[in-house]
């Protein structure tokens, strides 16, 4: 058996083990709303287009999209987060229940507003729709002290029954450094710690005790105050700095069309070219797919390189889909049949 065949077979076994894995997701649950319209005419009131409404859909976004991706990968997923007593929150809960995802860790609070990102897309009949504007509805403040305490308790309870913890922090407070760091603190009811994988939009360096992180290149640049660009030496150095400052075991930096770079303690970084075409259709929610596949693989016993390769396949598949999308276990297995895992040499 050749090296590539052995690698593919190993990756296949990891993916086939996903249904045996349980992962807790502590995250900011977001409702991604898509409103589609046909260009009708120019308004007489202002120099803007009038769109004739055609359809509307609401799908899980943010941390909820990570939950959705894990479910479609066949993983047993336990979401922990907050929603408001509003339509968006009810639609998220409905989606979870439809996929038989337990919702006891999803806390509904009347004082909280479900984060909703509404994308208006316009186009002529049978043409590709173009996003015109995005409207974000956000809570006026982070979850209150009582809700934060309940999120911590739910996460602590679920982690005891899990193989990994995925943290999806979009900055809305349900997956704050305070909650996550408290899970690592010793005490009479200390949890048995499992791999903890982090995706934090604005504050990844504030977390302690994290096993792995999956930032994109822009987030790394913002955290370190550097500019990476196309320079391999710079991305390599930046990754090593993040690894050292956060005391990580693994780091996966996503770079859009340039693929990903995987870092593992004690090893040289691996440069992974993007799987499939680099003619990307839509990157909405791609980071959620990447961290879902990466975490699932680690929980199933994969090495950093194997987890990164599977995350790369998943990311390459999902960016070819429009809107907030997921990757199924069958799609991942089919991708493994199409092409062996690849790396670039530097």
Measured at the alpha carbon of residue 95, what is the angle toward residues 100 and 219, in degrees to the nearest 5? 110
> Would residue 163 show up in a list of annotated catalytic residues for this protein?
no
Give the strand order in the sheet containing 76-84: 106-109, 76-84, 22-27, 164-169, 196-200, 212-213, 250-254, 260-264, 270-272
Distance CA(14)–CA(176), nearest Å, equals 30
Q: Per-domain residue ranges for the chain?
A: 3-31+61-115+139-338
Q: Is the pLDDT at 125 greater than 70, yes or no? A: no
What beta strand segments (E) does 76-214 contain? 76-84, 106-109, 115-123, 130-137, 164-169, 196-200, 212-213
Cβ neighbours, 10 Å, residue 266: 5
Q: What is the DSSP letter of 226?
A: -
Q: Is the pLDDT at 180 greater than 50, yes or no? A: yes
Distance CA(246)–CA(205), nearest Å, equals 6
Banded model confidence at residue 159, pLDDT cuts 50, 70, 90: very high
Rg (CA), the chain: 20
Distance CA(192)–CA(194), nearest Å, equals 6
| Burial class for 97, CB neighbours closer than 10 Å (0-12, 13-18, 19+) | exposed
Question: What whole-number percentage of the chain has pLDDT above 90?
Answer: 73
pLDDT digits (tens, 9 = 90+) for 233-247: 999 999 999 999 999
Residue 141: its pLDDT value, please? 87
Banded model confidence at residue 188, pLDDT cuts 50, 70, 90: very low
Average pLDDT, the chain: 91
Catalytic residue among 28, 271, 288, 330: 288
Q: What is the DSSP letter of 74?
A: T
pLDDT digits (tens, 9 = 90+) for 52-77: 999 999 999 999 999 999 999 999 99
So what's the architecture of 3-31+61-115+139-338 in CATH? 3-Layer(aba) Sandwich (3.40)
Q: Is the pLDDT at 341 greater than 90, yes or no? A: no
Q: Which range has the worst mean pLDDT, 67-81, 122-136, 229-243, 256-270?
A: 122-136
What beta strand segments (E) does 224-330 contain? 250-254, 260-264, 270-272
pTM equals: 0.92
Q: Is the pLDDT at 223 greater than 90, yes or no? A: yes
- Beta-carbon contacts of residue 93 (< 8 Å; ≥ 6 apart): 83, 103, 106, 108
Banded model confidence at residue 130, pLDDT cuts 50, 70, 90: confident
């Amino acid at each position: 058996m050749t090296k590539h065949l052995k690698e593919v077979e190993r990756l296949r076994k990891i993916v086939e083990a996903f249904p045996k894995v349980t992962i807790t997701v502590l995250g900011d649950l977001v409702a991604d709303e898509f409103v589609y319209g046909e260009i009708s005419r120019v308004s007489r009131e202002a120099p803007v287009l009038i769109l004739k409404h055609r359809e509307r859909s609401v799908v899980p976004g943010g941390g909820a999209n990570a939950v959705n991706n894990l479910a479609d990968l066949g993983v047993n997923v336990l979401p922990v987060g907050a929603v408001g007593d509003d339509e968006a929150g009810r639609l998220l809960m409905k989606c979870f229940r439809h996929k038989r995802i337990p919702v006891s860790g999803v806390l509904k609070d009347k004082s909280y507003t479900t984060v909703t990102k509404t994308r208006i897309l316009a186009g002529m009949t049978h043409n590709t729709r173009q996003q015109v504007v995005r409207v974000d509805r956000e809570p006026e403040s982070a979850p209150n002290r009582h809700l934060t305490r309940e999120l911590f308790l739910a996460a602590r309870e679920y982690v005891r029954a899990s193989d990994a913890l995925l943290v999806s922090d979009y900055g809305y407070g349900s997956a704050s450094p305070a909650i996550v760091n408290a899970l690592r603190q010793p005490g009479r009811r200390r949890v048995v710690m499992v791999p903890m994988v982090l995706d934090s939009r604005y504050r990844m360096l504030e977390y302690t005790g994290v096993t792995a992180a999956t930032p994109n290149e822009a987030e790394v640049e913002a955290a370190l105050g550097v500019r990476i660009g196309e320079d391999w030496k710079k991305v390599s150095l930046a990754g090593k700095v993040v690894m050292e400052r956060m005391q990580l075991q693994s780091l996966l930096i996503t770079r859009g069309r340039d693929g990903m770079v995987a870092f593992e303690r004690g090893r040289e970084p691996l440069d992974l070219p993007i799987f499939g075409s680099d003619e990307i259709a839509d990157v909405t929610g791609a980071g959620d797919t990447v961290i879902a596949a990466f975490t699932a693989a680690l929980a199933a016993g994969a090495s950093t390189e194997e987890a990164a390769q599977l995350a790369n396949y998943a990311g390459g598949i999902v960016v070819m889909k429009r809107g907030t999308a997921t990757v199924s276990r069958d799609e991942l297995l089919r991708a493994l049949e199409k092409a062996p895992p690849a790396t670039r040499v530097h």
